[in-house]
Amino acid sequence: MFALIIAALLMLAPPATTTTPTTTTTPAQQEQNFTPVQGAGLQAKQDAAVALGTGARAARFWTAYAFDVRPGHVVDIDYVSDDGRFVIQGTWESSDTGFIVRDPGIETRNLGVFTLRDTAGQIVRLEIYNLGRRREYAGYPVYWLGRASNEESLSFLRGIIEQSKSDDMASDAVRAVAMHDDRRVPEFLERIARSTLFDSVRAQAVRSLGQPPVADATREYLAQLARDERESTDVRLSAISAYGRSRDAQALTFLQSIYNSSASRELKRTALAHISRNQNNDAAAVFLIRVATQESDQELRKQAVSRLGEIAGERALGTLKDTIGRADADTELQKQAVVAIARRPAPESVPLLINIARTHAKPEIRKHAFILLGRTGDPAAVEFLKSVLTK
């Protein structure tokens, strides 16, 4: 147990170094390493860049341009907050188009579409890179096309999606489309979802349709996909996730109906995840408590207990306490309840975790509480762990 407590204390140590966001580098500084290409429009510049790249007989080369980016995206950065506790490295794909944030101080609005081309000028890879971040671009030259209009960029990406024989590249192009700040994007994405032959590309387009605001017609389309048993699981999961991102009352009703009507554990799990994030905390808690206490599927019960930790309120907390306190409760279910409590604010969670670590009848539950206390960074947790060591 002492080794466990020492490990927990080590988790509280701050990182040795921190870095600052690199999103403030100006485009001009980044473009110094690029070869500018002139032309009447994006297509003319692409053609000129291909002529330059193939004429130079480079093994491979990039063509790249900037575009208008939707607010809230974080893509391709290395960021550590001043206290060292919030880290983003590379691209966080939790949103399927990049990491969505509400802090304008972190978002990356200066992005570029980069296409890697072979010796014949054919596109072999597509990336979205942050123009404010220094990188080596694999040592290949970059031909810079400037800023493209939305019309030009979306047309270019549509061509890649329609002509690509690689589902990976087409999916990357769909992600790029979803990042554009243009009112036509939802219509564009739905057209892709209805027409593409690649199932993974359809799923990507459907996921991207969930970026608010979502029109009623789009919600109807997502609901149809989610309920259609002829669709692949990936597409159905994407539709549930896209609908659930709205987080309003309509989304909560939809998610609850999907959970109640679906026979698939995977679909139910996705519905539970989005129910826990809904704006209506009370109604979401009531539903999760019902699943946590009445669901016959033990894995789904664990999921519901875990998700209760994301919801504020005495009702959710009471269910977690009850789960941990019951002598006949499943040990794995109780572990999930401990994890859920640890997700709550420190003033609420730390005293509960300390009490569990001190008094719970099961050694494995006490051990779990010790580990989670070591991850809180809270002074009260430090003092408790020290006090146990010095006894």
Integer Cα distance of 30 and 360 in angstroms = 57
**Structural domains counted in the chain:** 1
Domain that holds residue 143: 23-148
Q: Determine, yes or no, domain membership for 44.
A: yes
- Per-residue pLDDT reduced to its tens digit, 2-29: 455 545 545 555 444 333 343 343 454 4
Q: Determine, yes or no, domain membership for 69.
A: yes
Q: Determine, yes or no, domain membership for 206.
A: no
- Per-residue pLDDT reduced to its tens digit, 257-301: 999 999 999 999 999 999 999 999 889 988 998 898 889 999 999
Integer Cα distance of 324 and 361 in angstroms = 10
Per-residue burial over 184-206, b = 16 or more CB atoms within 10 Å of its CB, e = otherwise? ebbebbbebbeebebebbbbbbb
CA proximity to 347, closest of 324, 369, 378: 378
Q: DSSP letter at 138? A: G
Q: Determine, yes or no, domain membership for 112.
A: yes
Q: In the chain, how long is the greatest CA-to-CA distance?
A: 77
pLDDT at 100: 47
Q: Determine, yes or no, domain membership for 263.
A: no
> In degrees, to the nearest 5, what angle opens at C-alpha 125 toward C-alphas 199 and 204?
25
Q: Determine, yes or no, domain membership for 244.
A: no
How far is Cα of residue 52 from the mean position of the Cα atoms in its chain? 38
Structure tokens at 349: 């969670």
Q: Determine, yes or no, domain membership for 64.
A: yes
**Could you tell me if 198 and 232 are in contact, meaning their C-beta atoms sit under 8 angstroms apart?**
no
- Per-residue pLDDT reduced to its tens digit, 138-179: 999 999 999 999 999 999 999 999 998 889 999 999 999 999
Q: Determine, yes or no, domain membership for 129.
A: yes
